Structures are given as structure tokens and as C-alpha cells.
Amino acid sequence: MRVFPNPTGAGSLWFDNLATADGTPVAYDPQARAFVPSGPFCANRDLIGCNWIAAAHGTLCHSCVMTALAPDTSLPGARHNWAKTEAAKRWVLDNLGRWHWFRPEDPGVRPVFRMLAEGPTPVAMGHVDGVVTISVAEADPVLITTRREALQEPYRTMIGHMRHEIAHMLWWRLSLREDFLEAFRSMFGDERTDYAAALNRHYGSGPPPDWQSRFLTTYASAHPHEDWAETAAHLLHLTDITDSVVSAGFTSPDIPHPGWDPYAEPDAIRLIRVAVSLVMGINHVNRAMGLSDIYPFVLSEAAQRKLAFVHDWLRRGAQGR
């Protein structure tokens, strides 16, 4: 994610800012990829702290309008968790916008989001025909840590959920192209195999013994659909980590040149090589504070080939160039 100039004076702004350091209200314009000092502001600004602009006063922004179902805010913590979930959605949509997905130049359909609070029964998250269902309860730090440990998923965060579920939606969009399906099945396998049976096997027997040599995560080994979604999410993780390092002004001999834009890099293997070098360094810094690695994954040759495949298709953008 970029670091943004302050439109009203000195200093920088971060993606989630609602105001400058001196208290001047600002909002993010996703089309211009810049902050502006005046509205119209999103109608959800006061309700959940949305900091994007809207097309007109009293209307929702480009991101919030995609939420067809909001959570029941009478449930404890629901509004706070919804706000954090929407913030994660804005972050991921802006990432994908760097490759022209879901922007005005994108001729295809947008995702529709169902944001659900949890009562006594957990919410099943997922994607079906362009509709993404998300449990906002997983924005709660205690709940997400509990489930991360129980499911042995070292990178279970709301941004991670958004990237994974939107990746399913991107597959659905791309699957309308015959050239994509043929290439996908050659790389990931036939997604027409029984999905429910595959998940039952995964949760009943666990991943295959050699999963680390063929997949990024254990869940990716469950079915070609999940392999795609996990791989696409990890491509977004690595690209955005790298972009954030560059945007924050850090230097490294592995960064190709000053001003290098990871989202504009056409060579997937070069991007992955730089990203891996940077995350290894950040992991080392985290350990100095007794924190978990920011990216605790090993990229096998097979996983790198899959990442390069996803990179090729997502970089073509929503127009399918």
C-alpha cells in the first residue's frame, strides 16, 4: 500500500486516515488514488469510519455500496467488527484496483458482500456466484487468535479472508473465458471434482504428506478451487508487502531500482524473489520483539509456478488483455 501526500500541507497520510495530523478532515478518492480535503464523504463515515469519497452527498462510496447485507449492529461488538471488516475490504479492493479490477474501466460485475455478525452459531464464510459472505466477528482479535490456533492457519486475518474470498470471485469472473479454464486445469487440476467430498477428506484425513512440495498451505491441498484462492491471496500478500516496503521509503539491494512499482512488474519470478527477500528481513525484525513471523511460509518451486500463473492472469486485469 502506498503512503500518500497530505493535500492540505506537510506530512504524509496512511490509507485509513480520516484526518490530517492537524485535524483537517480528508477522504480517499480511489479513482485518483489520492486523499482530498473535501467531500462528498461516504454516508458510512460517521457510522463505521469509512474514509472514502462518494459520488454525491448522502450516498455510499464505491466500496460500501458493494455490501448488500450489513450485520445486526445490536449484537455485542458487531458495529466495531463491521468497521474493521469494511476497512479490510477497502484495502483489498484498492490493491486489486492497481490491476484495474472493479474500477470504472472494468466492464465486468462487482462482488456483492454479505457481512454477518455471529450469534451462538458461527457464520460459514465463502463465495457463491459473485456473492462473498464474511463473518465480521473474525475481526475480533481474541476470536481470530483462537481460530487461528485451532485451525493451524498462521495467517488468519480479516485482510487474509478478504483476499481469499475475493480470489474465488475473481476465478468465477475469469472462468467465463475458455482459454482460462484450460490453462487453470493444467496448472491446478480439475475444479469439477466433488468439492464437498474433497473438503470432507481434508478435514477427516488432513493434507497429503508431501503437501509442502506442491501447495502453499494445507488448505490449498483440499481442492483446486482452494488452491487457486490460497495462491491468489498469497500473491496479493507478497505484492502488497513489497509495495508497502517500497512506499515507506525502505531500501534494499534486492529492490530493482528507486521508484520500482511491484504492481507494474511483469516478471512474476522477479517479484516473488524480491518479496521473499524482504519478508525474510521483516520476519527477522519481528523476532527481535518476540513477535510471530509476518509471513511464515515456504515457497516451493511448484508454489512459485502457481503464483506466476495467478500473477499473469490478474495482471491482465479485468479487461482480459
pLDDT for residue 115 is more than 80: yes
Mean pLDDT of 153-179: 89
Is the pLDDT at 288 greater than 90? The verdict is yes
Q: What is the pLDDT of residues 183-198, one digit of tens each?
A: 999 999 999 999 999 9
pLDDT at position 179 over 60: yes
Check whether 9 has a pLDDT greater than 70: yes
For 129-146, write each residue's pLDDT tens digit. 899 999 998 888 777 677
Name the phi and psi angles at 312, rounded to 5.
-60, -45
State residue 184's pLDDT score.
96
What pLDDT score was predicted for residue 148? 66
The pLDDT value recorded for residue 309 is 97
Q: Which three three-digit cell numbers place residue 142?
A: 481474541
Phi, psi of 127 (to 5 degrees): -135, 135
Give the chain as a 3 state SS string.
Answer: CCCEECCCCCCEECCCCCECCCCCECEEECCCCEEECCCCECCCHHHHCCCEEECCCCCCECCHHHEEECCCCCCCCHHHHHHHHHHHHHHHHHHHHCCCCCCCCCCCCCCEEEEECCCCCCCCCEEECCEEEEEHHHHCHHHHHHHHHHHCCCCCCHHHHHHHHHHHHHHHHHCCCHHHHHHHHHHHCCCCCCHHHHHHHHHHHCCCCCHHHHCCCCHHHCCHHHHHHHHHHHHHHHHHHHHHHHHCCCCCCCCCCCCCCHHHCCCHHHHHHHHHHHHHHHHHHHHCCCCCCCCCCCCCHHHHHHHHHHHHHHHCCCCCC
Mean pLDDT, residues 62-67 taken together: 97
Task: Say whether pLDDT at 285 is over 70.
Answer: yes
Res 151: pLDDT: 65
In angstroms, the CA 55 to CA 76 distance is: 32
Q: What is the pLDDT of residues 297-316, one digit of tens each?
A: 889 999 999 999 999 999 98
